[in-house]
Chains A and B, each alone.
Chain A
Amino acid sequence: MNRLNNINKINRNTQEYFSRFRIPSGCAVFGVVNESGERFSGQMVMDGISVMHERSNGLGGGFAAYGIYPGFEDDWVFHVFYDDMETKRQTEDEIARNFKILFGEEIPTVKISQIVNPPVIYRYFLKSKRNGDAFETEEDSIMDFVMHVNRDIRGAYIVSSGKNMGIFKGVGFPEDIGRFFKLDQYKGHLWTSHGRFPTNSVGWWGGAHPFGLLNWSVVHNGEISSFGTNKRFVSRFGYECTLSTDTEVITYLLDLLVRKQKIDIELVHLILASPLWEDIERMPVKERDILKALRILYGSALLNGPFSIIAGSSDFMYALNDRIKLRPLVAARKDRYLFISSEEAPIRRICASPDHLWHPDGGEPVIGIVRKKEIKKEIKSVRKIQDNKKFTKLVNTEMISLNKSRGDLNGSGIKAI
């Protein structure tokens, strides 16, 4: 059989392929955040990433968007890829057992010639009813559930699992993926995007980036030569790398350091791209002791090799280069907007004259922080304008008629709103 016939389908074999092999890839990354929490359309990001067309090869593109579901700001939302209706039913049973499903629907898409053979793509808005006793926090129980589905259910893959955010990705050029998911119709305060240039010929929808876990989304350009060390480091804390991708292990490192170990995001670069010993030794005593301690303890969390990453979370965007800057990364600010990109051109395309444009040094983080208060304010104002009973308007998408799938939802005991 010609493998190409099948390359765009999520299926067990492809997923296995992705978990067995580490596939290095070159990439384009692009992200925008409005630090005032004002929301803007995904079109801006699609325009940006499309400029870097030749940095990807059509085998993977994707977007992470924050602030897109203000009507469900406190609820978990899962974006899920299914092979077929059978895996969908199986997964929905699992979801229904563990969560109260507030709403579920097929994610609206538009047929375009560039995107072929997409999987069945759904989203669910959920409240956890998992017994919290077994887990330290609700987040841990969600993480456990997501890892369970992705590992154990054949042909189902949870792509994102945060709150008021979602990941849209697939096999194709990023700008086409954006059109496919109608991202121009979503509004968010923080967007990241990714175009992939993998060194293999197999495309798998689940293997595209961003990689997501809880509120995290990570896009990344590079190859982590410390992968084995990092993977073993996070595994001690219960993070199991199932996809063998760098992005996955970076996401787990961030979750571990920032969410679980509560290390301030402004200190994280001192771990992931720690300063050189010769620089540490030249610092004043107090700083030196802190840096030394960080490096001694978290040596196995150091990301080595070339990389530029953009991580998104509900209230900040975080970009970082490897410590000797072996991959490109450009940042710019305009008013309350922060742009981060692999190249300068996309920034100029969106914003011809930024207030400030710079090339961050290796190991120097760029952080765009949206104050939580301001996100809340924005959510409130959206609510005021729109009729908050009508979910469709709140997610800024047209609802498409999904009678057949609703039948499925009802059949599995899930109530569609």
Chain B
Amino acid sequence: MALELKQSEFEIERDKNKCISCEVCVRQCSNDVHEYDSDQDTLYSDNSKCVGCRRCETLCPTGALKIRNREDQFKTNYNWTSSHLSNIYRQADSGGVLLTGMGSDRAHTVYWDHILFNAAQVTNPSIDPLREPMEIRTFIGRKPERLDFEINRNKDSKESLKDTNIKLKTKVPPQLDLSTPIMFSAMSYGSVSLNVCKSLAAAASEFGTYYNTGEGGLHKDLYGYAKNTIVQVASGRYGVDVDYLNKGAAVEIKIGQGAKPGIGGHLPGEKVTGDISNTRMIPEGTDAISPAPHHDIYSIEDLAQLIYALKEATNWLKPVGVKVSAVHNIAPIASGIVRAGADFVTIDGLRGGTGAAPQIIRDNVGIPIELAIASVDERLREEGIRYRSSIIAAGSIRSSADVIKAIALGADAVYIGTAALVAIGCHLCQKCYTGKCNWGIATQDPYLTKRLNPEIGTRKLLNLLRGWSLEIKEMLGGAGINAIESLKSNREHLRGINLNDRELAVLGIKHAGEAW
């Protein structure tokens, strides 16, 4: 019964004059869109199968291909949009939950784009990062409230401290030491290919920052990057044992993810092949299902137990943090997490990416990261416990400006996931859940994964980190600041534009045009 119009989202234009029938497109497209008819020596394309990843367009040697968005799939209707209609048609066919990949593409307000950063003029000189030191080194971990010293000096003597014996009495808990306030977000081996993991790990280690294993365990090829690895413990506990925990520089307990708050994960059995089954420590071919909650964490005191169990297991040598998705009640939740003993809290916002999530959840559950950081930072300060944990912001950090704004709102550092994948070729087609990623990223098909050369991937990621770090330094210097710690929660340097009073109040910033 074909009652509905099966519209394709994309239209493929092939310029016959340019096409040389080399069949690159045929080989490159894992969705079998292109087909070569040898009788006629012509190429045909099936628009309806195209996902718009632009792999063929990018690789076509003569530039014969153009992939165009089809805006006019259905009659224009601001309420019943094309996406609602096609979703209903799809569900009427399948009766299932619609899946999607990557972060939400809905037109939710992107607060980053409504926030402007400051610069110094006259009363305060701006600083040139090319001539003056500009420090963006960042530490993640629990900070004691104060430092006590033992100073052996006769109070009345005149000798200066230089000649006396100072001892630090306070023990500073373990810290992650970042050369730039940017880390790579959790992406598991399984959801992405090993070549992606290698690129992330190598870039993090060369640049002096960290990448996160996600919930898929740690492949032995990545052991060498242990010093720059954050190992994740999620509800499925895949690949978690004491060696795994001790292979990382820090441990992150994953409670939730911005793209699918309250939802677990599912890696289908057909993807659980040799290496992945080893790394996740589950039999080949079995579904890897991460339950929605941790079945040993039904309340905050259970979380505290797990945090301390992990600290014990790692001899108190590594920071243990907790990742949650940004939900309405995020401020008290974060406060509870800090009190439960977490050394850092990762907050993943509404627009955060994913390998696979129900579209309805991704687009409708949670709150934007900007509002979440502002309210969490504020709440933790009101309660006097902000110093105890670092805050890592995640969920669609798209540029160095987003990083600067996140820190000025109150984050210590950010995680980037999507941005990192884009740097190594992702074109945001949002079909990661199909396992057919043409860019060799969200797939385990060896034919596709070899498209990403980890050395080139590493270089691209290093370039991205370098570029963003330079931009951060430029912006800091422009504002007359020469150390990133002086930007933290420094909302005086932010102004809102086109925001209403409520939004400004939640963000804790003034509107553009309002002076200090």
Chain A positions within 8 Å of B, measured between CB atoms, are 21-26, 199, 222-223, 225-229, 232, 235-236, 244, 261-264, 266-267, 274, 276-278, 289-290, 292-300, 302-306, 323-324, 326, 369, 371, 373
Contacts and interface: CB of A to CB of B under 8 A. Distances in A.
Given A261-B146, A266-B160, A296-B175, A324 B133 contact: yes
B96 to A, nearest CB: 48
Contacts of B146: 261, 297
A302 B486 CA distance: 7
B353 to A, nearest CB: 30
A225 B120 contact: yes
Contact of A324 (B127, B139, B516): B127
A225 B147 contact: no
Nearest to A372: B156
Given A225-B486, A305-B480, A290 B125 contact: no
Given A276-B133, A304-B482, A235 B381 contact: yes
- Closest CB pairs A-B (n = 4): A299-B485, A226-B486, A22-B516, A304-B486
Given A276-B135, A297-B147, A225 B481 contact: yes
A235 B382 CA distance: 8
B490 interface: yes
Contact of A229 (B123, B135, B144, B490): B490
Interface stretch (B106-114, B166-174, B340-348, B465-473): B166-174
Contact of B172 (A199, A293, A303): A293
Nearest to A244: B516
Interface in B126-184: 127, 132-133, 135, 137, 139, 143-144, 146-149, 151, 156, 158, 160-161, 166, 168, 170, 172, 175
A23 B139 CA distance: 32
Interface residues of B, number: 47
B253 interface: no
Nearest to B407: A229
B351 interface: no
Interface centre among B124, B146, B486 (most CB of A within 10 A): B486
B147 A223 contact: no
A290 B166 contact: yes
Contacts of B386: 232, 236
Contacts of B482: 304, 323-324
A302 B482 CA distance: 10
15 contacts: A22-B516, A23-B516, A226-B490, A227-B490, A228-B408, A229-B489, A267-B161, A276-B133, A293-B147, A297-B146, A300-B489, A302-B486, A305-B480, A371-B156, A373-B156
Contact of B486 (A229, A294, A306): A229
B127 to A, nearest CB: 7
B180 to A, nearest CB: 12
B159 to A, nearest CB: 10
B489 A232 contact: yes
Contacts of A264: 149, 151, 161
Interface string B463-504: 000000000000000011111011111111100000000000
Contacts, number: 128
Given A244-B516, A304-B481, A324-B482, A228 B490 contact: yes
A302 B485 CA distance: 8
A223 B490 contact: no
A305 B135 CA distance: 13
A297 B516 contact: no
A263 B168 CA distance: 11
A225 B124 contact: yes
Contacts of A290: 149, 166, 168
A229 B485 contact: yes
Contacts of B168: 289-290, 293
Given A277-B135, A290-B166, A297-B143, 6 more contacts: A228-B491, A232-B381, A263-B147, A267-B161, A276-B135, A302-B485
B265 to A, nearest CB: 35
A24 B480 CA distance: 13
A323 B132 CA distance: 11
Contact of A236 (B123, B381, B480, B490): B381
Contacts of B132: 324
Contacts of A199: 123
A298 B483 CA distance: 12
A223 B486 contact: no
A277 B490 contact: no
B384 interface: yes
B342 to A, nearest CB: 18
B242 interface: no
Contact of A306 (B125, B139, B387, B493): B125
Contacts of A262: 148
B515 interface: yes
Given A228-B493, A235-B381, A278-B133, A223 B483 contact: no
A304 B516 contact: no
A216 B178 CA distance: 37
Contact of B488 (A23, A229, A277, A298): A229
Contact of A297 (B172, B490, B491, B493): B172
A416 B515 CA distance: 46
Contacts of A25: 123
Nearest to B490: A228
A21 B515 contact: yes
B505 to A, nearest CB: 16
Nearest to A238: B384
B122 to A, nearest CB: 8
Contacts of B480: 223, 225, 304-306
Contacts of B124: 24, 222-223, 225, 305-306
A228 B160 CA distance: 33
A290 B164 CA distance: 14
Contacts of B170: 293
A229 B161 contact: no
Interface centre among A236, A299, A303 (most CB of B within 10 A): A299
Contact of B492 (A227, A261, A293): A227
Contacts of A266: 160-161
A293 B170 CA distance: 9
B144 A297 contact: yes
Contacts of B137: 277
Interface centre among B166, B386, B387, B516 (most CB of A within 10 A): B516
A114 B160 CA distance: 45
Nearest to A35: B158
A263 B480 CA distance: 28
Contacts of B156: 371, 373
B492 A22 contact: yes
B224 to A, nearest CB: 24
A26 B120 contact: no
Contacts of A227: 490, 492
Contacts of A304: 480-483, 486
A26 B123 contact: yes
A268 to B, nearest CB: 11
